[in-house]
Amino acid sequence: MQVALVVVLVLAATVVNAVVLSPMNLPGAPPNVLLLVVAALALVLGPMGGAFVGFFAGLAADLLPPADHLLGRYALVFCLIGYLIGMLRDEARDSVLLALVSVAVAAGVATVLYGLLGGVLSDGRVGAHVLVTTVPYSIVYDVILAPFVVPWVMKLARRTQPQVVHK
Amino acid sequence: MRDSRRTRLVLALLLLTAFTLITLDYRANGGGVFGSVRRTASSWFGPVERIAADVVRPVRHAVEAISSVGSNHQKLQDADQQISQLQQKLRNIPFDQQRIDELDKMLHISAVAQYKLVYAQVIAVAASDGFEWTATIDAGSMDGLKPNMTVLNGDGLVGRTTIVGRSTSTVLLAIDPQFTVGVRLPDGQTGYVSGRQKDAMSLQLIDPTARVKVGDGLVTRGSTNQTPFVWGVQVGSVVSATQPLAGEVQTGTVRPYVDFTSLDLVGVVVEPPRTDPRDALLASPVPTVTVTATVTATPPPPSSSNPSSNSGATSSRSATSSHSATSTHTSTANPTGTATKPPVKPSPNPSPGGSPAGRSGG
């Protein structure tokens, strides 16, 4: 059940990214709903679940059109992000602010990581100058979107969670 | 967390898998398994994305419309400004064309008659209350003008300079009652033409036996030392003449060739030709018919062996005159010009290239 939810959320987020948000031509980088979904799920699922969700979400982002980069780049970045955010699961359960802050950090870190990876792989499209100008924008947009996306994704995920006893 | 070690193991595995994918895709360079996987994903998700896009498009357009209001406003303003600039340019085209024609006519005259012209523009005309007919032109002593020089335009005699300032001068127009010029009748006789009114001048002959008839063209005879009048400038045509009794001098009315109501570009003869053009200019009436065709660089036709001798600076302009030679009566003018030109001709010519080029901008 939860797996199905995760799959649906990830695919929907990818489509929304490509169809709704990117064509809007906002200044700087467009907001990344997929990242928000991954962060929200990670906050519920913990580090391992976050890593898995991140990996597959990233893979979806790499595969689905109009992606045009090496397969696996987003998988790597989102996997790491999912893991790191998942580490904050317990703390985030109590504090919404922490959740939002962590999402903002995740947005910045994801973009930077992606850029660094692009530099390592000699992707000409990513340059330090581009990073400097896009990171603030993506953080701002994601922070703006986060209150709309993260809480109910978390709620949905918790509702469909199999009854696990935390030890 | 209790699963931390397992979690980290899983994380490491996943990261490794991701890295492997990257490497494999990099080496496959878009082909291979990954290419086909991408194509499959594309074929599955393409339609989904297309449907979603159709759904979202109206909303997106609305948002774009709102967000681009500011830039659209600016674009509209820029476009409006551009439109009014272009409209102004369009409106100027007939005027520019007219000036081109005027200049060409004067170039023709200067080439055929070998005048050295300084071009100027009429910037002011005295109030036409009938008492005086003068005009101000924007050339002066620093352009080489002196008092009592002949002023002409593409149609004929305009007047003579009277007061020359540093950068402007006053021209006494030919229609002013105080203006008098000696003219040459077609049969070689002499007469005097004075200004009378806006479109008519009075002609008076000297020799009681000389006769003119209606339609005869008159050119300036040329004063002593070519001051104030150089020879050969066309003045006007006789429109009426008295029929005097024997022993009386004939008089008549002359309509000037120049339209004094629309003076714009004029040329001041700063250096007269070496030889008398006689009727050379009269024999080449109304070059306007051919001039527009020759504005673009036409190579001189073979008959232009004459103009090429003075091609020093006037090469393009002599091409103009020689081309018009083939279509109007100037074919008679050129041989006349050739015959009267001494072989030493080229020396005054390099200078005509200098000043007209500088002045033709108006």
CA distance A19 to A12: 10
H-helix or E-strand spanning residue B340: helix B330-340
The terminus-to-terminus CA distance of chain B in angstroms comes to 90
CB of B307 within 8 A of CB of B300? yes
Q: Is the pLDDT of residue A96 over 80?
A: no
Closest by Cβ to A76, choosing from B10, B15, B63: B15
* Residue B38 with chain A: CB contacts under 8 Å: 63, 65, 67, 71
User: Measuring CA to CA, how many Å separate B270 from each of B110, B140, B229, B255?
Assistant: 11, 11, 11, 26
User: Measuring CA to CA, how many Å separate B181 from each of B160, B220, B269, B276?
Assistant: 10, 7, 15, 16
CA distance B258 to B133: 14
CA distance B274 to B110: 12
CB of A73 within 8 A of CB of A118? yes
pLDDT value of residue B267: 92
DSSP letter, residue A28: S
User: B276 CB contacts (<8 Å, ≥6 apart)?
Assistant: B222, B231, B232, B340
Could you give the ipTM of this predicted complex? 0.75
CA distance A109 to A67: 20
- CA neighbor of A153 nearest in space, from A30, A53, A44: A44
User: Measuring CA to CA, how many Å separate B162 from each of A28, B159, B289?
Assistant: 72, 9, 34
CA distance B152 to B202: 19
Q: Do A72 and B14 touch (CB under 8 A)?
A: no
- CA neighbor of A23 nearest in space, from B55, B62, B70, B57: B57
Q: Do B49 and A71 touch (CB under 8 A)?
A: no
Closest by Cβ to A167, choosing from B2, B20, B24: B2
What is the SS3 assignment for B216?
coil
The count of C-alpha atoms lying within 13 angstroms of the C-alpha of A115, restricted to the half-sphere facing its C-beta, is 18
H-helix or E-strand spanning residue A41: helix A33-63
CB of B112 within 8 A of CB of B281? yes
Q: Is the pLDDT of residue B352 over 60?
A: no
pLDDT value of residue A91: 77
Sign of the dihedral defined by the CA atoms of residues A127, A129, A133, A136, in that order = positive
What is the SS3 assignment for B347?
coil
CB of B12 within 8 A of CB of A49? no
Q: Do A75 and B52 touch (CB under 8 A)?
A: no
DSSP letter, residue A27: S
CA distance B138 to B119: 9
* Residue A51 with chain B: CB contacts under 8 Å: 7, 10-11, 14
Q: Give residue-wise pLDDT tens across range B43-81.
A: 777 777 778 878 888 887 887 788 788 888 889 999 999
pLDDT value of residue B84: 92
Q: Give residue-wise pLDDT tens across range B208-263.
A: 888 888 888 898 888 887 788 888 888 999 999 888 888 888 889 999 998 888 88
CA distance B97 to B199: 25
* Residue A73 with chain B: CB contacts under 8 Å: 18, 22
Task: Summarize the confidence of residues A135-151 as an average pLDDT.
Answer: 81
pTM of the model: 0.45
Q: Give residue-wise pLDDT tens across range B121-166.
A: 888 877 555 567 788 888 888 899 988 999 998 889 999 998 888 8
If you measure CA to CA, which chain B residue comes closest to A118? B22
DSSP string of B16-28? Answer: HHHHHHHHHHHHH
pLDDT value of residue B81: 93
How many residues are recorded in chain A?
167
Q: Give residue-wise pLDDT tens across range B71-120.
A: 888 899 999 999 999 998 898 888 888 888 888 888 888 888 788 889 99
Q: Do A47 and B42 touch (CB under 8 A)?
A: no
* Residue B34 with chain A: CB contacts under 8 Å: 71
Interior angle at CA A79, CA A77 and CA A85, nearest 5: 100
Q: Give residue-wise pLDDT tens across range A12-48.
A: 888 887 777 766 666 666 778 888 888 888 888 888 8
Q: Give residue-wise pLDDT tens across range B23-39.
A: 888 777 666 777 777 77
Name the residue with tokens 């100058």: A129
* Residue A11 with chain B: CB contacts under 8 Å: 45
Q: Is the pLDDT of residue A157 over 60?
A: yes
Q: Do A76 and B19 touch (CB under 8 A)?
A: yes
Q: Give residue-wise pLDDT tens across range A56-92.
A: 998 888 877 656 667 788 888 899 888 888 888 877 7
CB of A2 within 8 A of CB of A157? yes
